[in-house]
Amino acid sequence: MSWVEIFGLAAGIFTTGGAIPQAWRLFRRKSARDISLPSNFMFLAGILLWLAYGIALKSPAMMFWNSVGTVVTGAILFAKFRWGRD
């Protein structure tokens, strides 16, 4: 594995990993009233585009972290629809 891929994996830990505490908090509190729906839909669209770009480049780091980001953002959106009207 090249240093460039290692650098990409490390970047993914911080960028995608940053959404994990938010998702965790939403599911723990069962409240998503303050979560922005348009912002998260735009973020999901960006993640999916980055995922497609990573697939085109055959970049394991981009494919992995954007796949994880899709799941985490999907969980946030699920929480918003389920608990967003407190």
- What is the tens place of the pLDDT at every residue in 40-50? 999 999 999 99
CA distance 23 to 9: 21
pLDDT of 86 > 80? The answer is: no
pLDDT tens-digit map of 13-27: 999 989 999 999 999
For the chain, the domain total comes to: 1
Q: Which long-range contacts (CB under 8 A, 24 or more apart) does 78-81 make?
A: 79/23, 79/26, 79/27, 79/30, 79/32, 79/35, 80/26, 80/32, 80/35, 80/37, 80/40
Range of 28's domain?
3-83
Residue 8 has pLDDT above 80, yes or no: yes
**Token pair in block for residue 46:** 């960006």
pTM: predicted TM-score of the whole model, two decimal places:
0.88
CATH code assigned at 18: 1.20.1280.290
Q: What pLDDT was estimated at residue 40? A: 95
